[in-house]
Amino acid sequence: MVPPSLGMAAWALVTGVAMVKSGLSVWTATAMTVLVYAGSAQLAALPLIVAGAPLAVLLVAAFCVNLRFVIYGAHWRRYFGHLPRWHRLWLMYFAVDLNYVLFVRRFPEPRPQPEQLPYFWGGAVWNWASWQGASLLGIVIADRVPTQWGLGFAGVLALLGVTYSLLSDRKTWIAAGVAACAAVAAFSLPLKLNIVAAIAAGVAIGLLLDRSFPGAAPERA
């Protein structure tokens, strides 16, 4: 649990720095990290907030970046579906990528067991504390670093790395390429609608490729 948390802490540090370097105050950045608690959605939201994008565009982008959690959730339900609704939602708020990976490895059998809740909370609390600690450290450091160093770009590099790790086959490469071209070509659209257009173009080409070449089925779900 400790080494992967260290990697995540580094990621949190970058998020903290990028938030302040995008122009958020120390206090807004702190509120964002404590409440939103989703690094890649926060990083993706920053350029949009700086550009003053409409809230709807901001939310569409964050929703799409977070969609992997929807996939995890279908799996989580088999473990925690018997709990009351508010309890389930409370658990899921803390269910980040690392918790999911470790939990499913520890309990490969998708059915409720009594030791699952303590295991879940042990990991969730540890993750939350290391994430928030490192993120706050990043916020404080960034406040002391000159803006012309352009450190906020570290957040873009982090998202680029996540993008690379999602490129699993030729179809995802094509979908990503189409989305990139659309986002740049449609950049002059008002209201940051180029983001929405690019997401729509990327997903549409992906679905089209899946239909035309059904060879490789989606491995998850």
Site for other proteins, residues 174 to 203, rule: CB under 8 A:
175-176, 179-180, 182-184, 187-188, 194-195, 198-199, 201-203
Smallest gap from Cβ 209 to other proteins, in A, equals 9
Residue 156 found at the interface with other proteins (CB under 8 A): yes
In angstroms, the CA 158 to CA 22 distance is: 15
Radius of gyration of the chain (CA): 19
- The footprint of other proteins on this chain (CB under 8 A) covers a number of residues equal to 94
Contacts of 156 (CB under 8 A, 6+ apart): 43, 47
- Point out which span in 8-16, 109-117, 122-130, 135-143 binds other proteins (CB under 8 A): 8-16
Residue 2 found at the interface with other proteins (CB under 8 A): no
H or E, element range at 5: helix 2-21
Single out the residue of 139, 164, 41 nearest to residue 97, CA to CA.
41
Smallest gap from Cβ 105 to other proteins, in A, equals 19
Smallest gap from Cβ 200 to other proteins, in A, equals 8
In angstroms, the CA 98 to CA 134 distance is: 16
Query: Which member of 32, 134, 139, 142 binds other proteins (CB under 8 A)?
Result: 32
